[in-house]
Amino acid sequence: MEQVNPMRNKIGFKLGLIILSAFVVVIASLGLAIGRMFSNFYNAEMRTEVDELTTHFTVMSDSPEILTEQTLLKFADFSNVSILYVDNQGNVLAHSGEHDLSDQSFIRPSDVQNLFSGKSVGFEHTDTKGERYFVGAAPILEGNNVISAVYVLSSTKHMDESIAAVRNVLVLSGIGAFLLALGITWIMAQILSRPLVKMQEATRKIAVGDLETRLNIISNDEIGSLAGAINNLAEDLQRYRDTRQEFFANISHELRTPITFLEGYTKVIKDRLYDTEEEKDKYLDIIRGEALRLQHLVDDLFELAKMEEGKVSLSLEWIDLAEIADNAVRKIRLKAGDKGLELNTHINNSIPLILGDGMRMEQVLINLLENAVRYTDKGGIHINLNENSSYIYLIVEDTGIGIPETELPFIFERFYRVEKSRSRQYGGTGLGLSIAKKLVELQGGEILVSSKIGDGTRFEIRFEHEGQGERT
């Protein structure tokens, strides 16, 4: 567990940091956007209010129903604004409101000129004390002549206080949201990191040889797919290890047996422990047979080694499968006859030539026929070479013991043997079918198998109708 905790902390921390960063960015962006929205809203509302008050005071000043200018100034006091009347020189004629009259920097000559030319102005002003105002100014007309101008100043103090209060609420909300996001992030990081930690633990166990390790993670996403891939890897490694161990045990047995025979019968002949020449010849036949058996085993091992290194060389030419099938059947007929098995052939001699290696194809076919003879005790073996609209097919079918359905997916794997015993009757290296499949695929074909216990096994080699030559 001490080795797993750092891994868990790293995964959880990284995931948490990523998720939390996303939350912080979203919360901060949202807070800034809401703060900016409220600030713009208040500014726009206040500007509109100042413009409306300026227009209102201008209209009231133009109206003959208003008794005196002092009445307007008193009305301005109730509006929480400051109002100033100025002449065409920018001098203040009247003033009302909290604004300090000593600050007249907002009365700019260019604005006065615009006002007395009949234009309205509006801007933002900051006094010497740092207080901000929205300023609106408009001309006062008498007939068609401008007689004065009115300035309306509205302090932003209350607006700034309102915006600050909103920002404080946003900050508090942001802190609360951050704490909530922190909790959610921790939970999410734990949920997301848990299967990753389990995978890390499982892969470490697999790396040290505990190939029975399996992950129980079921989800329809990439995590589930990765867990399934790890389980498949463990199964493949376990099967490879088991078949490799079994292969070495088989090889050890297969090598020990002929070597023991060779050593024993050679000693018998050397020490002349035989009575007749016939007995001597019998021992020599046994020695020769075991030598051939040993040679066949070594050949298979060399073939496998070349395939593992990708050094299998093919001599491609236009070959006649019918001729190859006839030769293979002829070579296997004696072995079949020794067991009382019938060889039934149906060979179509008019099928097209294919591009392949004749010697290798004969090797594949002999391998299939020898397997058929080895695992068939009664009945016969059927060889069928023909074609249909899609491909040329070569079938080797026997009436032997058959292969269990659960074993069929693995029979072409290297080192795999259906017959787990090391009996000399069924014994083999488990390399023949693997070599045969590889050779067929290298020549552009495929090999299929079907079987049923007690009924026999059927191998089918197929070559598609592409790149084939016509008979001449």
**DSSP, residue by residue, 105-121:** TT--HHHHHHHTTT--E
Model confidence at 471, pLDDT cuts 50, 70, 90, reads low
Q: What is the pLDDT of residues 235-294, one digit of tens each?
A: 888 888 877 777 677 677 767 877 888 888 898 888 888 888 888 888 898 888 888 878
For residue 418, pLDDT beyond 80: no
Contacts of 156 by beta carbon, 8 Å cutoff, 6+ apart: 46, 131, 132, 133, 134
Q: Are residues 327 and 292 in the same domain?
A: no
Q: Are residues 288 and 330 in the same domain?
A: no
Largest CA distance in the chain: 159
Identify whether 86 is part of a domain: no
Tokens at residue 412, please?
């072409």
Portion of the chain with pLDDT greater than 90, in percent: 14
Beta strand 380-387 pairing with 354-356? unpaired
Measured CA to CA, the distance from residue 233 to residue 217 in angstroms comes to: 15
Q: Are residues 336 and 427 in the same domain?
A: yes
Q: What is the pLDDT of residues 90-111, one digit of tens each?
A: 888 877 777 777 888 888 888 8
Q: Are residues 395 and 273 in the same domain?
A: no
Number of domains the chain contains = 2
Q: Are residues 399 and 453 in the same domain?
A: yes
Model confidence at 134, pLDDT cuts 50, 70, 90, reads confident
**Which phi and psi angles does 419 have, rounded to 5°?**
-80, 105
Contacts of 408 by beta carbon, 8 Å cutoff, 6+ apart: 449, 450, 451
Q: Are residues 382 and 441 in the same domain?
A: yes
Q: Order of strands across the sheet with 391-398? A: 342-347, 380-387, 391-398, 456-464, 446-452
pLDDT of res. 79: 64
Q: Are residues 393 and 373 in the same domain?
A: yes
Identify whether 196 is part of a domain: no
For residues 75 and 176, the model is more confident at 176
Which pairs count as long-range contacts for 333-339, CB under 8 Å and 24+ apart, including other chains? 335/370, 335/373, 336/369, 336/373, 336/381, 339/373, 339/376, 339/377
Q: Are residues 254 and 388 in the same domain?
A: no
Q: Select, from the ranges 14-23, 448-457, 463-472, the one with the highest average predicted confidence (pLDDT).
A: 448-457
Q: Are residues 257 and 384 in the same domain?
A: no
Mean pLDDT of 112-138: 85
Identify whether 210 is part of a domain: no
Model confidence at 422, pLDDT cuts 50, 70, 90, reads very low
Identify whether 78 is part of a domain: no
Identify whether 335 is part of a domain: yes
Nearest to 27 by CA among 192, 171, 146, 135: 171
Tell me the angle at which helices 321-338 and 358-374 cross, rounded to the nearest 10 degrees.
30
Tokens at residue 134, please?
């929205």
Q: Are residues 373 and 433 in the same domain?
A: yes
Segments forming the whole domain that contains residue 391 = 317-464
Q: Are residues 247 and 368 in the same domain?
A: no
**In the listed set 308, 342, 374, which residue is the last one of a domain according to the structure?**
308
Identify whether 84 is part of a domain: no
Identify whether 296 is part of a domain: yes
**In the listed set 308, 331, 346, which residue is the last one of a domain according to the structure?**
308
Nearest to 269 by CA among 242, 297, 293, 288: 288
Write down how long the chain is.
472
Query: With contact defined as beta carbons under 8 Å apart, do 28 and 171 qualify?
Result: no
Cβ neighbours, 10 Å, residue 113: 12
Note the pTM of the prediction, 2 decimals: 0.48
What's the CATH code of the domain at 333? 3.30.565.10
Q: Are residues 331 and 286 in the same domain?
A: no
Model confidence at 231, pLDDT cuts 50, 70, 90, reads confident
**In the listed set 308, 325, 355, which residue is the last one of a domain according to the structure?**
308
Q: What is the pLDDT of residues 277-306, one digit of tens each?
A: 888 888 898 888 888 878 877 887 787 777
For residues 146 and 401, the model is more confident at 401
Identify whether 185 is part of a domain: no
